Amino acid sequence: MEKREFDVRLARDHCMEYGMVVGLLCSASFLCSMYGATSLLLGQLGNILGITAFVTAGALIRHYGRKAERLTFGRSCYMALLTYAFAIMVVAVVQYIYFRYLDAGRLANQVEQIIQMPEYRQWMEQLTAGQDPDEVVGQLLQMTRNPERMTMQLIWMNLIFAMLLTVPTALMGKRK
């Protein structure tokens, strides 16, 4: 097999497309999870869609490696990271729209109900040693009612997940 130079531009373009697919799967997973508190089936579907997004990312990168050019582990990592970066952008838009227009305080109400339960109250008191648990709960509720802050928190969380999933995805995407 002949060696070719890695075409960064072609790989990036494909990662944009792959990121859109993975981002839509992750967005569907997010929406199912948000409505999963009222429906066990939706909650489970959200979990399945999240796993499917991860597997799809690896499969798309492997497909690229077969059709376009041979991928080394480093190139596969590069493509996985780019795919997740583009997916995070898609998910961030969906999350912002959800928290701005669709949530209507539902998440904050659910968090408030959970925190009022005695076992969670005790856990919060242990967790916030040295701080007033009511103040911490108030800050948490204030964040869940602010779409911009909530979206930014989720972007950071998604970036951490992307970093953790880059190597396993690259391993799935690299041809043996």
> How many other C-beta atoms are found inside a 10 Å radius of the C-beta of residue 40?
9
Tens of pLDDT along 15-57?
A: 999 999 999 999 999 999 988 877 889 989 999 999 999 999 9
Q: Which residues contact 54 (CB under 8 A, 6 or more apart)?
A: 165, 168, 169
Spans of all domains in the chain: 8-103+147-173, 106-144
Residue 106, amino acid: R
Using alpha carbons only, give the angle 39, 149, 167 rounded to the nearest 5 degrees.
75
Residue 4: the pLDDT is 64
Tens of pLDDT along 58-110?
A: 999 999 988 877 888 999 999 999 999 999 999 999 999 999 998 887 887 87
How many residues belong to the chain? 176
The model scores a pTM over 0.95: no
Residue 115: the pLDDT is 75
CB 157 within 8 A of CB 84: no
